[in-house]
Chain A
Amino acid sequence: MTTVAAQVKKLTMIQAITDAMKTMMKEDDSVLILGEDVGINGGVFRATEGLIEEFGDERVVDTPLAESGIVGTSVGLAVNGFKPICEMQFFGFIYPAFNQLITHATRMRQRSLGRYTVPMVIRAPYGAGVKAPEIHSDSVEALFTHIPGLKVVTPSNPYDAKGLLIASIEDPDPVLFIEPMRCYRTGRTQVPDEKYAVELGKAATVKEGTDVTILTWGAMVQDTVKAVEKWEAGKDASCEIIDLRTLYPLDKETIRKSVEKTGRAVVVHEAPETGGVSGDVISLINDAAFFYLKAPVQKVTGFDTPVPVYSLELDYLPSAQKIIHAVEQTLQY
């Protein structure tokens, strides 16, 4: 056997996602892809590009246009030995499949006391800022973090995208893998050729800092980094930025340690405010680091309104100004 030094190449997030699926399909014959236009067309975002040529239409399946059908039949496939990766064309079109997900996929393990299990991944592009039509940009991760039996994962860069998707495919339970559309093609990073996993349930410290912890995910990670870098120039305060990466289960330790260190926290997400994941993050901070807090935790979020179509979508998204405003608020205490 010859060993080859690990190869790395620069990939966009969408390429890294393709690479993850390809890696797993090569390794494990039971991995299948099901979705609308995932075959010849390679998916509307090209996430499955080239896969039907390599693996054939028995493994990369262009299904009828029916989300409940995709997820429901995948429950059967998963119980019976396969590992389906379901592509929802957009996160906003997962609603017809919600029933299958909540009433079957995520509770089959318990309903059958472990006899039947559903190792399946649902991938869905999400988030505003790409001028998509109505419904396409919904950011409804909190609907899913509330479902018992489901892990919810979202990458913010190509390296994580590959590693998190591989870990999701290898997970023995259903995983919802939501992909911030805005990050699909903005920038390339080094992605190893080989198989590697980024553990689910672990956040990443994107940037170290001493005075305020900012907790965020998805496309808001890059926005936050940019806003903070600009703001920090010439200030003697600094922010620590944490990319949560997995929204259920949250990484309690990383959150606790960071807030213990900084004593201040801001949660940033583009999803609507009420009932958002921010509520869980703040409750976790209360539980784990209350006595370290120097200021109430702030949140910067979207509104409790439908995600607007593009004339207003940038106003809907948390802006750099709003993020910095919240940081400064916490510093005033």
Chain B
Amino acid sequence: MEKQFPIVQYVDEDGQLVKDDARLDKEQLYQFYRAMLRARMMDKKCLNLQRQGRIGTYVQYEGQEAAQVGSALAVEDGDWMFPTYRDHAATMTFGHSLTNLFLYWKGRLEGSIPPEGKNIFPPAVPIASQLLHATGTAWAEKKKKSDRVSIAYFGDGATSEGDFHEGLNFASVFNIPVVFFNQNNGYAISVPMEKQMKSKTIAQKGLAYDIPSIRVDGNDILAVYFETEKAVERARSGGGPTLIEAVTWRYGAHTTADDPSKYRNQQESDQRRQTTDPILRIERLLNNQGWWNEAAVKEMQEEITDEMNDALQASESVEKPDLNQLFDNVFAEPTWTIEEQRMKHNRISKEVGQ
């Protein structure tokens, strides 16, 4: 199976092009680079903020930037994105605001709201459930005869859930324009791939559903971008779903509430930072092409730092919501039960002076 689903690479670990026909232009490479840098800086920032107690438990993705950023750059305005709790590199690349991302991690509903015109679902917390929403939403687009597609993100553990299989099966049966984008980072919390499934690849699971499936090097942004673009194109032109397995690695813990040294050897993570890191790889590529520009990169870092600081400040100046927010948006029109509970809460909190 691993032979049948070879890992597609465009650029190797030394930053050498291994695919002759890969389109390469300096500007686009810098766009990729900048988006990944921004994602990484944001992840580091959030990790620090969590350590300082300024945001709640945080879910990091460092190491998975190429997979998330590359795939997100391959979809367009009007398309639908279905992230999990770990996919904010994808959402911020697709246009989610940094202010709202900070708000999300401060436990604010506002944080899930995408900018006007961007179709981004609130991050799915129940594993694999979003694959069905992506399928349903894309099904609606198909019925409306638009050429809009959905992209759904999920991890390796998610492929054990029924909703993964139901999502692929529905998409296959009804030829739905959806891209199932898997990030195989080797672990579902503490459970390694080989204990999660006997199959050696995730891509092969698409075979059963007759869905074109590929494995890509998830740390090679060119491979991710161009292969996702093909899948998106196929979906747009009526060719139906694709399953993409991006083989990647996250350096850190599952979340800031978890200690990875309990279940995996962190030395391997440290080693990978030197070898397979997605950002290093594109730096090496830029270097090899003679396009590396120290000053430009420095400027990028400064811009991103400013953008993050502004966003953080904006998010910290948003006032705490009133508990009354909770009673809104349960139904279009609140039921009497909800209205009564709202009034009772307001009356009692006045009485007890809260």
Interface residues of A (CB under 8 A from B): 58, 61, 63-64, 66, 68-69, 71-82, 96, 99-100, 103-104, 108-117, 148-149, 151, 171-173, 201, 248-250, 252
Residues on the B chain within 8 Å of A77, using CB:
136-137, 139-140
Determine whether the beta carbon of B113 is less than 8 Å from that of A115.
Answer: yes
Q: List 6 A-B contacts (CB under 8 A).
A: A66-B166, A76-B139, A80-B144, A96-B162, A103-B126, A113-B109
Distance A248 CA – B338 CA, assembled complex (angstroms)? 11
A77 to B337 CA separation, bound complex (whole angstroms): 29
In the complex, besides A76-B137, A149-B330, 20 extra interface pairs with C-beta distance below 8 angstroms are A61-B174, A66-B169, A76-B138, A77-B140, A79-B133, A80-B80, A80-B141, A96-B162, A100-B129, A104-B124, A108-B122, A109-B329, A109-B332, A111-B112, A113-B328, A115-B114, A149-B331, A151-B335, A249-B335, A252-B336
A73 closest partner in B (C-beta): B136
**CB < 8 Å neighbour of B136 from A75, A114, A171:** A75
Majority secondary structure, B binding face = helix
Contacts A63-B170, A111-B112, A111-B122 given: A69-B335 contact, CB under 8 Å?
Answer: no
Q: Which residues from A are CB-within-8-Å of B330?
A: 109-110, 148-149
Q: In the complex, which of the residues A58, A61, A111, A248 has the most CB atoms of chain B within 10 Å of its own CB atom?
A: A111
Contact residues of B with A, CB < 8 Å? 80, 109-110, 112-114, 121-122, 124-126, 129, 131-141, 143-144, 150, 162-163, 166-167, 169-170, 173-174, 328-332, 335-337
B134: which A residues are within 8 A, CB to CB?
Answer: 76
**Pick from B112, B133, B332: contact of A104, CB under 8 Å:** B133
With CB as the reference atom, state the residue of chain B lying closest to A174: B331
Bound Cα distance A80, B139 (Å): 9
Residue in A76, A110, A252 whose CB lies within 8 Å of B140:
A76
Q: Is A110 within 8 A of B109, CB to CB?
A: yes
Q: Is the CB of B173 within 8 A of A110?
A: no
Task: Contact check, A117 vs B332: say whether CB atoms are below 8 A apart.
Answer: yes
Picked from A58, A68, A79, the residue with its CB within 8 Å of the CB of B166 is: A68
Are B133 and A75 in contact (CB-based, < 8 A)? yes
CB B327 to nearest CB in A, in angstroms, measures: 10
B167 lies within 8 A of A110 (CB): no
Residues in chain A near residue B124, CB distance under 8 A = 104
CA distance A48 to B204 in the complex (A): 38
Closest to B114 in A: A115
Distance in angstroms from B308 CB to nearest chain A CB is 24
Task: Give min CB distance, A122 to chain B, whole Å.
Answer: 14
Contacting residues, chain A, for B328 (C-beta < 8 A): 110, 113-114
Q: Is the CB of A80 within 8 A of B137?
A: yes
Complex CA distance for A81 and B138, rounded to whole angstroms: 11
B136/A80 in contact, CB under 8 A? yes
Bound: A61/B328 CA distance, A? 34
B residues within 8 A CB of A115?
113-114
A76 close to B135 (CB less than 8 A):
yes
A103–B125 CB distance below 8 A: yes
Asked if A64 and B166 sit within 8 Å, CB to CB, the answer is yes
Q: Which residue of B lies closest to A67 (CB)?
A: B166
Q: Which of B113, B132, B139, B336 sits near A68, CB closer than 8 Å?
A: B132
A163, chain B: closest CB distance, angstroms = 19
A177 to chain B, nearest CB (A): 16
Q: Are B332 and A173 touching (Cβ within 8 A)? A: yes
Name the CB-closest residue of A to B142. Answer: A58
- Residues in A with CB closer than 8 Å to B143 are 58, 82
Out of B132, B150, B331, B332, name the residue touching A75 (CB < 8 Å): B132
Query: What is the CA–CA distance of A171 and B332 in the complex, to the nearest angstrom?
Result: 9
Residues of chain B within 8 A of A250, CB atoms compared: 337
Asked if B121 and A114 sit within 8 Å, CB to CB, the answer is: no
When A76-B139, A79-B137, A110-B109 are in contact, do A69 and B132 touch as well, CB less than 8 Å? yes
Contact A76 B332 (CB under 8 A): no
**Hey, which chain B residues are within 8 Å of A248, CB to CB?**
335, 337
